[in-house]
Amino acid sequence: MTRLSRSKMTRTLGFNAGRRGPDKYPRLTDRVGDFAFAVTSFDDAVDTVVSAARSHTGIPIRLSNAYCVSLATREPDYAAVLGGDGVTYPDGAPVAWCLRRLGNPNAERVRGPSLFTAVLDRGREAGLGHFFLGATDHTLDALAAEASRRFPGVRIADRHAPPFGPLTEDFYDDATRRIASAGADIVWVGMGTPKQDIAAAELARRTGLPVVGVGAAFDFVAGTVREAPSWIQRSGFEWLYRLAAEPRRLWRRYLVGNSHFAVIAARSLRTNR
């Protein structure tokens, strides 16, 4: 397939995949496996999230890595979420690398924890109210304290650590009520994959706000889990650092998930060559 014909496969994708609401925030996308990822810069992603919060655009925002793609190919319910309404950014060097190899040289990694802190910083100017959902009370207390220390004037509308368990109607009702009463402008969910993305899709619909799944960002900022040094983050081997730090919990995600993703990526590159 020629580069010209390949370029016709990329498309402009609005926040609601063109199905609901105005296409206010078009995003060039390309597919890795069966899933569309935003082709963008990190700074543009920050601008997009801040704009969505300021305008109260109800949109789920996913930060998906190689493991997410691998998992979605094996779990149809998660595939429906990852391929549904919303914006999916490449959080993970392998996904961004694959996008560049597909003919998108400007595709950058949008690292979840970095996006989280950048929006906390930028959101001060607009007075954005942030709601933190997930983790534990201890982590959320430490997170709020550290966020306030790093970003004086940041407005934390509220925070809530729900009981561990499935995503039930009671969970959604309670979370929606808390978010509404807090007067939040954006919701951050730290519950792990795939739970946080499933919750974000439903809460964005119910609250009319941008809801972002940010994985380990709460723990990194709170200091309950050690974050990789910045040079390792830039190297593309942050996953190896995290695997070494928590091998028992993460070995399947990174060794099995990354191996499966390599097969998916190779197929995407071969199909679109």
Minimum mean pLDDT range among 26-30, 91-95, 173-177: 26-30
| pLDDT reported for residue 257 | 67
Average pLDDT over residues 247-257: 66
The answer to whether the CB of 58 falls within 8 A of the CB of 210 is yes
Q: What mean pLDDT, rounded, does the chain reach?
A: 86
* HSE toward the beta carbon, residue 2, CA cutoff 13 A: 2
How long is the chain? 273
Amino acid symbol at 109: R
Distances (CA, A) of 91 to 10, 64, 167, 230: 19, 5, 24, 15
The answer to whether the CB of 91 falls within 8 A of the CB of 72 is no
Average pLDDT over residues 236-260: 67
List beta partners, residue 159: 132
**224 vs 226: CA distance, rounded Å:** 7
Q: Which two tokens stand for residue 144?
A: 């709020």
Average pLDDT over residues 46-74: 96
The answer to whether the CB of 237 falls within 8 A of the CB of 243 is no
Estimate to the nearest angstrom the gap between the alpha carbon of 38 and the chain centroid: 11
pTM summary value:
0.86
- What is the rounded end-to-end Cα distance, in angstroms, of the chain? 5
Question: pLDDT (tens digit, 9 = 90+) per residue, 177-232?
Answer: 999 999 999 999 999 999 999 999 999 999 999 999 998 999 999 999 876 567 66
Other Cβ atoms less than 10 A from the Cβ of 40: the count is 23
Q: Quick one: which of 44, 53, 262, 263 has its CA closest to 155?
A: 53
